[in-house]
Structure 1
């Protein structure tokens, strides 16, 4: 029995590795597919409500238009913010180089050699190039968006038919389990995105107010970047905090002001992300912080920026499927972050 169990476990691990390798190799197909499944779960109530009052294709057109508007708005917020920062770097390249030189001299005077290592490599044109390449990558999302919209269009047209096939007697008992899990996942994803949107709006607003009050240039750009990147846990808030901090070095030239801005931005992110957002999400979306971190970084390794966004929704779906399977319920208990009395119930 032990040998058979070991072989079964080895086979499951091997299958999992092969599936992950396939997902990585074919990321240009699977990343838009997974993204479209999340969009379908979010937009199906809108599609269902509209098609009860108008022709199905007209309702589909309106739903797809709303979906495209949201995706383009998020992409535009990041692209516009980074473009503003890149333009400022280009216009103030000499000032940034002078500030860097002053700071490097101060570090050398205190026994920290910098000029011999970083100064030869430091080039403001390199920074500008990084910003421009980042904006260019955002433009490459046009093809990704088109593929997502195609998947969403086909998926929305087949939601009801797919549900009927899962409810058919021939698909039982697995069909009913999948149908119940899919319904639960859709509810959780909608709640997750609503909470995330509220948190992102609050983060962008308070970052804008703070940077504007501190007299830091491009306050609107920092607010837009903080709003859009807050949808990506951990990575997004880090970038949204790191960029204005580096910018403050050139703007103020004072390490005291830089520390104040860095600490204040992190306090904003902490209060909204670690205090307010979990209370809005509730116990139904409670996940282990370690599992969330792993999911974000693992899927960002697999699929880049799209994977960083998809990491938490994929984790939510995985935990929900595990909760519906007696053999995998233990794994859901490990990945979830629920109170002991809830788990016992």
Structure 2
């Protein structure tokens, strides 16, 4: 790299750090905007196809209706699965307590008093604050969804206008690169969601079948939750892998079945994550696993659960922008393991 490129790259890195700081400070304002842009990038081809057949206004309305319906269907499935688990926990508190006592007997024989440690460090006020925070968060979900919907409607209606404004920039080279990057980001977002959806369906079906095979209670709910949580890379898989053996232990009261469940779920996650997802994504999403994990941790810290979901797409978008400009292409080369072949992801 020449001296000019070094200065430009340094400026980009500083800008990225400032953007991340702004994302943390302005979370409430930026979250719905970024989420809406993500949805727009995925839904845009549908509107573009429909617009040539039924007109712009009707295409926009139909695209919004279809997108909203799919989102509500997914949310309903998640709520159903979560409610099933919550009701099971509420109806089996005695079994859970018995399982905890029996599981800690060996530890207490070796002078490790688990319940004593928990009571010493347990603060009921903390639990109350957590429940209160969850209730507040639940009350804000509807408002968040409405804001996102408004941004999606406005964004889909203004997409062509924005593209036209970018095309008329004085710096035609930057204009061309920005438009190309936007198209590639849209293709990669749709590829990413296709991969995650196929992997999530496969994970949900596999977990459901495995739970039925072992006669686990709430097999359907576990399949649904495994499907939904798989949209959170690493985190969702970890939750399912940890939770299912615990519930199996409560149900069966022995260590053999939970161990079998742990091995089975780990095998399912490994096969789908290491084989199925790479087959579907190919080289279109060439991001190194450590970078994926870093993205999830970073954006979970910045934006919580939504950040865990958007972490990988945001990294994909950043790498695509870096790849498009010569001064930052070396960053994309290092982090993605090499750029895709020219023309591979043309819109």
| Distance (Å, rounded) in 1 between the aligned partners of 2:45 and 2:107 | 59
Instruction: Go from structure 1 to structure 2 and tell me whether the alpha carbon gap of 1:135 and 1:106 turns closer, same or farther (over 3 Å shift).
Output: farther
CA distance in 2, matches of 1:240, 1:10: 41
Matched, 1:210 2:210: yes
Contact 2:9 2:328 in 1 (8 A): no
What aligned pairs does 1:48-67 form with structure 2 within 5 A after superposition? 48-67=48-67
**Structure 1 residue matching 2:196: 3-state secondary structure:** helix
Secondary structure of the equivalent of 1:173? Answer: helix
Tell me the residue number matched to 1:286.
286
Q: What is the deviation of 1:136? A: 7.3
Specify the alignment match of 2:335 in structure 1. 335
Q: CA RMSD in A?
A: 3.1
Secondary structure of the structure 1 residue equivalent to 2:170: helix
- SS of 1:284's equivalent in the other structure is coil
- What is the Cα deviation at residue 81 of structure 1? 1.4
Q: Is the Cα–Cα contact under 8 Å of residues 90 and 128 in structure 1 kept in the other structure? A: no
Shift of 1:55: 3.0
2:23 corresponding residue in structure 1: 23
> How many angstroms apart in 1 are the aligned matches of 2:64 and 2:4?
50
Q: Which residue of 2 aligns with 1:180?
A: 180
How many residue pairs end up in the alignment?
A: 341
Gap change, CA 1:131 and 1:233, over 3 Å in 2: farther
Structure 2: runs of 5+ lacking an equivalent = 343-347
Deviation track 1:108-143 (CA, whole Å, cap 9, x = no partner) reads 2245432321366689xx999979976874564222
User: In structure 2, how many angstroms separate the alpha carbons of the residues matched to 1:8 and 1:44?
Assistant: 32
Q: How does 1:22-41 map to 2 (within 5 A)?
A: 22-41=22-41
Query: Is the counterpart of residue 231 in structure 1 residue 235 in structure 2?
Result: no
2:97 corresponds to: 97
1:195 maps to: 195
Seen in structure 2, the aligned counterparts of structure 1 residues 203 and 136 have a Cα distance that, compared at 3 Å, is: farther
- Retained in 2: the 8 A contact 1:245–1:262? yes
Given that residues 245 and 262 in structure 2 are in contact (C-alpha distance below 8 angstroms), is that contact kept between their aligned partners in structure 1? Answer: yes
Map 1:1-345 onto structure 2 (within 5 A): 15-118=15-118, 137=137, 140-168=140-168, 170-338=170-338
Q: How far did 1:280 drift?
A: 0.9
| Cα-to-partner distance string for 1:57-90 (whole Å, 9 max, x where unaligned) | 2211111111112222222222221211111111
Q: In the aligned structure 1, how far is the partner of 2:263 from the partner of 2:112?
A: 24
Q: 1-side partners of 2:287 and 2:254: how far apart?
A: 40
TM-score by length of 2: 0.88
CA distance in 1, matches of 2:226, 2:136: 19
**CA deviation after TM superposition for structure 1 residue 13, in Å:** 5.4
- State the Cα distance separating 1:246 from its structure 2 match: 1.7
Residues 5-41 of structure 1, C-alpha deviation per residue, up to 9 Å, x if partnerless? Answer: 9998876655443322211111112111111111111
Q: Give the whole-Å Cα distance in 2 for the aligned partners of 1:106 and 1:212.
A: 31
Displacement of 1:235 in angstroms is 0.7
